[in-house]
Every structure is written in structure tokens, then in C-alpha cells.
Structure 1
């Protein structure tokens, strides 16, 4: 079943689920972003789960696909059949760690980079079997995994600008497309919007909606940029410069 949720600004996210139970335990999951090859020795990623608590914890590992729609919502579906994950279920002893191997088993002849999520989730098991009051915090880490063939690159550009209004504010609806073969993370963008007689330059806080966004290969994103100088009925074009990772 597909799942849809809001795409967070950073490449990675740690989501904390609070459940009623006994005591609180925690773990770390690293790295939170990595890239592997579609075949060969470099098709394997290594992750490490570290349990810094005084209690043993149970963890499950799974893989999902990763797509982002025009409005920035991330769509995920199970992808465990495209990976060999070992182990998928583990118990990590107190103050110790466990390494996880994730090997890509999908199409070995990819034409472009494909994005996935590797999710490590704590399972609510009370090993002590003692009934005490309190709150148990269950940790869920969502890491970014990219499977990339050689010589991929991003190609990010503004493909459409039009006047619009949102929540009572005038501005522009700006469409940005990544027509390349690799994801691109936009940092410190500067947007120039040109009309028939003038050019408007926007940057810094004016582009909070764009700054930090991750465009996957083939991704088309639409952003609303507030601007009091926007005029309805006029034709606009745009260009974007940024530090793109």
C-alpha cells in the first residue's frame, strides 16, 4: 500500500513516536544518507544501530520506495523485494551496537539514480515484563538511500512562472524541474523573475519555500513565492542560481 506524507526539508528525518508503556530507551542509526551502485561490490550499504541505553531494545529494518509529488508530498511503497537486508529484526544489547547490511537486488542497469528509504524502527517490547507507569518513547529513523549508476548529474531549472495568490498574498507560482539523472539539494537559491519591462531578484528569506528542497531525478515541483511586485495578467520567465549538492 502506498503511503503519502509531507516531505521534510532535510534529506533525512528522525520521527519520534510516543507510546504509553514503561520506561524510555533510545538508539542511533547511521548513516542517515548514503549512495550505492546498482551492481557489484559497491551495491552494499552498511548501517550501524547503537544502543546507548541500559536496556536491550528490539529493532526492525525495512526498505521503501521514495517519490515526491508536485506539492512536496513524499510517497512511499514497500521495497523489501528490491533489497537483501541482514538482519531485518534484531535485539541490541545495552551499550552495544549492531551492523546492518543492505544490498540492492533490483535492476542492475539503471539509466538514472533511484531514491529509497531505509527505516529503522524500535519495536515496543518490554523485556523486563515489569508493569510500571510512565512513558516509553519509540524511535523511528528514516534514512535516505540512493542507488546510482555512474556519471549521473542533476539538471535543475525554472520551467514556468505565473502570477498567483495564496492565503491573501500576491506572488508567483514557480515550477522547478530536475531533468537530470541525479537528485539535487538546493541551497542558498537566488531567483530572478523577468517581466516585459523589469526583473525582480529574490533571495534569502523570500525563498524559504525553495531553500533546502531535494529534487529527485525527473522531479517537477511547484512553489508559491510571495512577492508584492507580482502583477496579474503579465507573462513571466525565471532563472535560478544556487549551491546544489
Structure 2
């Protein structure tokens, strides 16, 4: 029987062994659709590299950003998924067809989440020859993929909207995407200016790398800086040319 102990590392080891024995894989993790036509249907691949049957469920959700900058999801019927549930046999690969069936307005990209979940499996194991009750454990492995329905004319338009100096050598930068498509930021250089004077340059800031700005959204990011800054500053950003 599995026992829960106070030693954290041992506890995690006990829990993760059953989890990985039921693991599955999904690809791709970023999926682009057209609003109509051949590219309105895409195919994703599920793979079970393990030795046990693995039931998987596919669900689609809208994706939005609230006033606090947090992601909000709601179940959607904008897609047809076939099949929605599969049982992957050991070492099996299966294709799942996903078709966009919704509408797009104003040539603005729509963002979604595709969530592939391992359906919970009841797990019970006990030591032979003992009468102690077994422990029933439910494990759930979940992948959250990014989905974009992108009209041909959709384009991102990112700018630095505001910069605020915070105590403790920190700078809060507000980015705004005023365009009609998302943009994943890979900053090559950040210039911090006071008036026309550059007071600090930061090359490839890792805190900003990978920041995803959905169409017509804003996001605040706090960036540590190496020295005290003047009260009023402005920020210029140079992006690396890297595909999303």
C-alpha cells in the first residue's frame, strides 16, 4: 500500500511513478486555423508511449484576458472535435480532427485553448498478506495547447504604453497590443530613457521573453533593473525576429 510520509521528496517520487506510467503525448502544442477553407480543419496527434491503456478527452475553450491580466476560459462549441474521447492502446498513435465552426468578425484573430486530459483512473495497490485498506488515487495528466483562428489580414501592433518605476530597483512596463493578431515577445534590447538620455540598456531580458499579447489586450510585466532609475522614464523595445 502506498503511504503518505512527511518527507516531501519521497512523497513526490511515490506519486509520480504511477503518473508517468499512464502518460501520453500530444502534438502540436500551437495550432493555427483559418476562419474557412481547407485550413479551417487541423489534425493533432495523440501518442501513448506507455504499456497501459490511456483514455483521453479533448475539450475546447475560449481564451480571454481579464482586467487583472489573468487568463479566463469558457467552454465553447466553436469547434467540432472528432473523436472527442479516445482510448489509446499501449504504444499507439491516433489522429484527432479539429474543425473551426464559429465566426470571425472585423478580421480580428480569435484565441482559444485546446485541453487534452487523461481521464482519471482509479489506482489501488496493497501489500500482499496484509489487511490494511488500499489507497485509491486519481491521476490526471493535462496538456493545454494554444489555438488561434487567424484571418489573412490580421496583424499584431505592439507598443510600450507605460513605464512606472517601482521601489527595490524594479520597473513595471505596460505593453499594449492594438493589433488584430497575437504577438509573442522576444525582446532583443530594452532601452530605458530619461528625456533623450539613455540611462540603462538591458539585452535580451529573460523576464519578458515569451510574453504573449493577445489581440487588443494589455499586459503589465515587472522587470528587475540593476540600478536606481529616475522617477519619470520611458521605454523603447527592439524585438528579435523570431517566429511565434
Question: What TM-score comes out, normalization by structure 1 length?
Answer: 0.79
* Separation in structure 2 between the aligned mates of residue 225 and residue 25 of structure 1, nearest angstrom: 39
Q: CA deviation at 1:21?
A: 7.2
Stretches of structure 1 that go unaligned for 5 or more consecutive residues are: 1-17
* Separation in structure 2 between the aligned mates of residue 84 and residue 222 of structure 1, nearest angstrom: 35
Stretches of structure 2 that go unaligned for 5 or more consecutive residues are: 1-14, 127-134
* Separation in structure 1 between the aligned mates of residue 17 and residue 162 of structure 2, nearest angstrom: 48
Contact kept in structure 2, 1:47 and 1:101, CA below 8 Å: yes
Q: What pairs up with 1:107-118 in 2 under 5 angstroms? A: 107-109=103-105, 111-118=107-114
- Which structure is higher in RCO with an 8 Å CA cutoff and minimum separation 6? 1
Q: CA deviation at 1:23?
A: 8.2
Question: What TM-score comes out, normalization by structure 2 length?
Answer: 0.79
Contact kept in structure 2, 1:70 and 1:221, CA below 8 Å: no
Q: What pairs up with 1:1-245 in 2 under 5 angstroms? A: 24-69=21-66, 72-79=69-76, 81-109=77-105, 111-125=107-121, 131-133=124-126, 137-165=139-167, 169-196=168-195, 198-204=197-203, 207-227=205-225, 228-232=227-231, 235-243=232-240, 245=243
Instruction: Note the aligned Cα RMSD (angstroms).
Output: 2.6
Report the structure number with the largest CA radius of gyration: 2
Q: What is the number of residues matched between the two proteins?
A: 218
**SS, match of residue 118 in structure 1:** strand
**SS, match of residue 75 in structure 1:** strand
Correspondence for 1:14: none
* Cα deviation digits, residues 1-40 of structure 1 (max 9, x gap): xxxxxxxxxxxxxxxxx69979831111011112010112
Q: CA deviation at 1:241?
A: 0.7
Q: Which has the higher strand share?
A: 1
Change (3 A) 1:28 1:203: same
